[in-house]
Structure 1
Amino acid sequence: MRTIAIHTKTSEKVGLVIDNGQLIEYMATRPEASQLSGSIFKGTVKTIHKSMQAAFVDIGESRQAFLKKELIPWGRKTIENSITEGQSLYVQVTKEPIDSKGAQVTADLTLPGLFTIYQPYGKKVSVSRKIEKHQAAHLKEQVSNFLEEGEGAILRTNAADTDLSLIKGELKRLKSEWNSLNDRKKPGVMWRDDVLLNQLIRKYANGSDEVVVDDSEISQFLKKRFPYMENKIKWRKNMAQYTNHSINELQDLLTKRTITTDEGVQLVFDKTEAMTVVDVNSHRYMDRSLSSDDPLKVNKRAASEIAKQVRLRNESGMILIDFISMKSSAHNQELLQWLRQEIKKDPITCKVHGMTKLGLVEMTRTRQLPSVHAQLLQLPETKYNLPTLWYRLERYLMSQEHQEAVLVSVSPDLYNLKKQLLLEPISSKIPQELFVRQNDHLTGWQIELEGSLDIIREAAHRRGYNVDKLF
């Protein structure tokens, strides 16, 4: 049984897809970080780059969007003959902005539904290749008669098993939605493709047994938006109890650096700016006296869990995997094939490229929405260790020869570490009278006051500090 569960009551909205009790998808949106993918903007062409055959478009966001020539439906041989600087046009976000890069956009607009995708500038009807030819031709003819000149549509695979009246009804709603959009003078959003109430449901509608939400009004809204799924959409007051999944506990699991499978295989996930790195560790499994074939078995179990975690954590871009070394080239190829089969379960495009000379498996996954790591965690900052902090304090004090006295606060850890670090006294080298106090709120040291000896003594007394000279 597959359930789509959408939590909407809190400020952070969360969608889960649960298949036979196992979580296979986590998706969340936050008010301070609206996600742009799928949304349609009115933009202004700012710069055309002939060498790249691309343009930068102002869409009203902090960073300009990037538009390639091949994504302009009316495009001619070159981009400079297709659009002009200063021109207004509608674009749709295909990839979220990341770091200093703006969003990637297309001018080939789409308004997607469960069975169809309406294209205001599509000009033709396309049919999924998975639909048999004779049925595809019939559907194409029926839908083409329903559309006006210049419009287009794409028929999804599940349109084959759907009544034609439902297909036309959905297209009518999508066309009406497009025609009802109010134009705007300045660049900005015109239509949002809601990540949870649209994208998540469309992504998993086919094959899902129920859609549960925690708000009765939203359940009614979804029934009107997706009449085909009306009987599957339900309201549940206590979602965590119904799905047996706590959002806070799930977030703890999805941000853990280390994961250990039931078989004892340990996976360590590390993030860099350029890629995600996964290390496979079999230290618990190794106690069972591995035979020559067992490293392959362990690696296969690891590969299955990695494919699952990459999908749940929404990792994207370059992914390097350091599996347990195997001497057999046949085993290496078998592992690569196994991983390729596992990532086919992922609805987002993934590709296993092969193995490097160092034995690292190279994999990529298309970037769409932000990863769980980027959404939930602060970026790691480089911090000095305790010995370094102390030596930096020494250097600072020795450079302040013009000061008669100094009042410095240090963390308890740094205070205690001093006795271990100083193998020889350096008090004679410190040019000032030094007053030191411990501060539980610090992680390093902080100069509170510098000046004459009388000023420092008076300040320490007035503030009620317990100080010592420490050096």
Structure 2
Amino acid sequence: MVKEVLVDVGIGEIRLAALENGQPVEIYIEKKDHESLVGNIYRGKVERVLPGMQAAFVDIGLEKNAFLYVKDVIPVSYNDEGELLFSGEDFSDISEVLSCGEEISVQVIKDATGNKGPRVSTRLSLPGRYCVTMPHSNVFGISKRITDQNERKRLRQIFEKAKPENVGIIVRTAAENVLEEQLIEDMEELEALCRGLALKEQKGAVPRLIYREPDIISHAIREYLKADTDRFLINNREEYEKVLALLGDAAPGLKTKVQYFSKNYDMFAYYHVESALEEALSRKVWLKSGAYLIFDRTEALSVIDVNSGKFVGKSDLEETALKINLEAAKEIAHQIRLRNLSGIIIIDFIDMHQRDHRDQVVQTLKEAVKTDRTQTVVVDMTNLGLVELTRKKIRQPLYKSFTVDCRVCHGTGYYISPVTAARRIEKRIDSQMAEAGHGCLEVYVHPEILRVLETSEKDSVENLKTRYNCGLKLISSKDADYDEAFIRKIEI
């Protein structure tokens, strides 16, 4: 598999795309006026403890208080892979571990969304290239993706020997087959960060920021520039030089993978990322067979519907459904990753009656999501063809970075019909005429509503004028809201 990373440095924003065999699989954007807070660590103060919700609100110096669940505040235990074993469910009352006014260090694990503040955890972690350090912990684990037992033994010996006191370590997949000197250097850099963090925790006003997550380019180097990466392209000379400097002597073998994109083209357009981005922001995605997927979202979950579309098949209905669903399963895994969907995801596959066919589709989906770096769990298919999938939320979905809610429908995807809006305005006119007496009203409305009032609702408008013996001037206004009107009385 050919792996490439594109870093597009623009005015006011930096875009990142990860490609596998030329196909975009992940896209991120960081705007200078709206950077993600995920990874930042704050020294905050507990404002409220809510036993009924088993949660607390923590003031970390932002507009909205951060939200802290009980399972994110209690010390935990891990297995040898660094997977969570205990998350505090045995505690019945959060007030056993937190109290109002208490000062605590928390790390942002989810950005603020809508009217909700950021979600935080007291389980701090500082990720490096080859390992993740966890201050105030003694956990040790090795990524389960490293399957060679001899290599796991080697890594355990290296890190356990050099592991500092009161600092947990999770060995990352990228550490596999890396020289001991490079592993130790990475850990020592993180250990120095931990010491600096401990000093910042002790001094200063509360709330305050005590650790800032590196920018998107540093994030790209850490998360994407690895031994199996073929190219790391960047279109800005200054940032290109910075990347080489950041790599330094720690990863000299990776420097040759970093290339400066000097062509006079838009980088994303040149590598067909723009077209993939356009598709990822659309509601409908066509499959090669002629079938298509529909993506919808609610506050609670995302829904994906599989439709046969133009594909009619050459055999019976069951075989046709199987072929479409198998193709859809692979594309759904790709789109979920590309769109960065998270939380609960419900997939409505085309109905299949044979159990082995349903199992085949679920297994295909499970295999397809294995390439996703974000934790994803696929649940079995119901008799109705529904599959539940959960994906860990780290950053906001892609559409949030590139779109805003419609000012008419406010993000619902629909708004009242012109006739309904016109009749609401008629009722307002009726009320105003009753108060105005023998005068004249000027009514400024949206152009589309004006057309309705002058055509299908014309008789109703004339009846109002006759009933109240009142003049009426309907005026088109592009500035008027779709279902609102500005009404004023004028003297005649």
Residue by residue over 1:407-457, the C-alpha shift from the partner in whole angstroms, topping out at 9 and shown as x without a partner, is: 1234443333345524856523332211123345554563353133x1xxx
* Corresponding letter in the other structure for 2:321: P
2:210 is the alignment partner of 1:190: yes
SS at structure 1 position matched to 2:309: coil
The secondary structure found in structure 2 opposite 1:421 is coil
In structure 2, the residue matched to 1:121 is 136
| Structure 2 residue aligned with 1:449 | 488
The verdict on how the C-alpha distance between 1:124 and 1:364 changes in structure 2, with shifts beyond 3 A counting, is: closer
**In structure 2, do the counterparts of structure 1 residues 428 and 114 end up closer, same or farther at CA, with 3 Å as the change threshold?**
closer
CA apart distance, 1:298: 0.9
Please say if 1:153 is aligned against 2:192.
no
Whether 1:402 and 2:435 are equivalent positions in the alignment is: yes
Greater CA radius of gyration, 1 or 2? 1
Q: Which amino acid aligns with 1:220?
A: E
CA distance in 2, matches of 1:70, 1:390: 52
Q: Kindly state the Cα deviation for residue 118 of structure 1 after the two structures are TM-superposed.
A: 2.2
SS at match of 2:302: strand
The equivalent residue for 2:475 is 437
SS class of match (2:169): strand
Partner of 1:461: none
Shift, 1:190, TM fit: 2.2
Query: Does structure 1 conserve the Cα–Cα contact (< 8 Å) formed by 2:443 and 2:473?
Result: yes
SS at match of 2:174: helix
2:65 touches 2:117 (CA, 8 Å); kept in 1? yes
Change (3 A) 1:445 1:372: same
Q: CA deviation at 1:293?
A: 0.8
Matches within 5 A, 1:135-154: 135-154=151-170
1:174 aligns with 2:175: no
The whole-number CA distance in structure 2 between the counterparts of 1:73 and 1:445 is 51
Identity, % of aligned positions: 25
- More deviation, 139-148/402-411: 139-148
Equivalent-residue separation in structure 1 for 2:221 and 2:430 (angstroms): 65
Matched, 1:232 2:270: no
Partner SS state of residue 219, structure 1:
helix
**2:372 match: secondary structure:** coil
Give the letter for the 1:10 counterpart.
I
The question of whether the paired residues in 1 share the 8 Å contact of 2:138 and 2:167 is answered with yes
Q: Compute the TM-score of the two structures, normalised by the length of structure 1.
A: 0.86
CA apart distance, 1:217: 3.1
Matches within 5 A, 1:353-364: 353-356=379-382, 358-364=384-390
2:176 alignment partner, SS class: helix
Deviation at 1:9, TM superposition (A): 3.2
Aligned to 2:435, the other structure's residue is in SS state: coil
Change (3 A) 1:247 1:158: closer
Letter in 2 for 1:232: K
Counterpart CA distance in 2 for 1:354 and 1:251 is 30
Q: Does 1:213 align with 2:234?
A: yes
Moved more, 110-119 or 409-418: 409-418
- Per-residue CA deviations over 1:241-270 (Å, capped at 9, x if unaligned) read 487236654442221111112221111112
Distance 1:330 1:149, change over 3 A: closer
1:94 aligns with 2:129: no
Flag the 1:112–1:85 CA change in 2: closer, same or farther, 3 A.
same
Residue in 2 that maps onto 1:3: 4
Give the Cα–Cα distance (whole angstroms) in 2 for the partners of residues 423 and 149 of structure 1: 82
Could you report, residue by residue, the CA deviation over 1:43-95 in whole angstroms, capped at 9, with x for unpaired residues?
Answer: 22223345655433222222322334554576898655545432322222222
Q: Deviations over 1:198-248 (max 9, x none)?
A: 434333334211222223332333334333122222222347348723665
For the residues of structure 1 that align with 2:477 and 2:342, how far apart are their CA atoms?
A: 42
Question: Residues 398 and 300 of structure 1: is their aligned pair in 2 closer, same or farther, counting only changes over 3 Å?
Answer: same
| From 396, 411, 423, the counterpart of 1:370 | 396
Displacement after TM superposition at 1:142 (Å): 3.5
The 3 A distance-change label for structure 1 pair 135 and 444 is closer
Q: CA deviation at 1:301?
A: 0.9
**CA gap 1:145/1:303 in 2 versus in 1, 3 angstroms:** closer
Decide whether the 8 Å contact of 2:293 with 2:328 is kept in 1: yes
- Going from structure 1 to structure 2, the CA distance change for 1:236 and 1:163 (only over 3 Å counts) comes to same
Pick closer, same or farther for the CA change 1:355–1:265 going to 2, 3 Å: same
Supply the AA of the counterpart residue of 1:451.
Answer: I
Tell me if the contact between 1:281 and 1:324 (Cα under 8 Å) persists in the aligned partners: yes
Structure 2 SS opposite 1:161: coil
Deviation at 1:354, TM superposition (A): 2.9
Question: Is 1:413 matched with 2:413?
Answer: no
Match in the other structure for 2:84: none
Contact 1:2–1:17 (Cα < 8 Å) also in 2? yes
Judge which range, 438-447 or 57-66, deviates more: 438-447
Question: What do residues 332-355 of structure 1 show as CA deviations (whole Å, max 9, x unaligned)?
Answer: 232222222222221112222233
Deviation at 1:300, TM superposition (A): 1.1
Call closer, same or farther: CA 1:234–1:121 in 2, change over 3 Å. Answer: farther
Q: Deviations over 1:79-137 (max 9, x none)?
A: 55545432322222222233333333222322111112223323354333435555544
Do structure 1's residue 85 and structure 2's residue 123 form an aligned pair? no
Q: Is the CA contact 2:110–2:120 (under 8 Å) kept in the aligned structure 1?
A: yes
- Does residue 316 in structure 1 map to residue 342 in structure 2? yes
Q: 1:326 to 1:126 in 2, by over 3 A?
A: closer
1: CA distance, partners of 2:416 / 2:424: 10
Say if 1:64 and 1:425 are closer, same or farther in 2 by CA, change over 3 A: closer
Tell me how far apart the structure 2 counterparts of residues 147 and 101 of structure 1 sit (CA, whole Å): 38
AA paired with 1:333? D
Considering only aligned residues, what root-mean-square deviation do their CA atoms show, in Å?
3.0
- How far off is 1:288 after superposition? 6.1
Shift of 1:167: 0.8
Cα 1:93–1:249, aligned 2, differ >3 Å: closer, same or farther?
same
Shift of the 236–190 alpha-carbon distance from structure 1 to 2, 3 Å rule, reads farther
Q: Which of 204-213 and 166-175 deviates more?
A: 204-213
In the alignment, is the contact (CA less than 8 A) between 2:164 and 2:191 conserved in 1?
A: no
- The equivalent residue for 1:107 is 122
Which residue number in structure 1 is paired with residue 271 of structure 2?
Answer: 245
Unaligned runs of 5+ in 2: 77-87
Instruction: Find the aligned partners of 1:270 and 1:370 in 2 and give their Cα distance.
Output: 16
CA distance, structure 2, for counterparts of residue 411 and residue 87 of structure 1: 54
Classify 1:424/1:305 alpha carbon distance in 2 versus 1 (closer, same or farther; 3 Å).
Answer: same
| Mapped contact 2:440–2:490 kept (Cα < 8 A) | yes
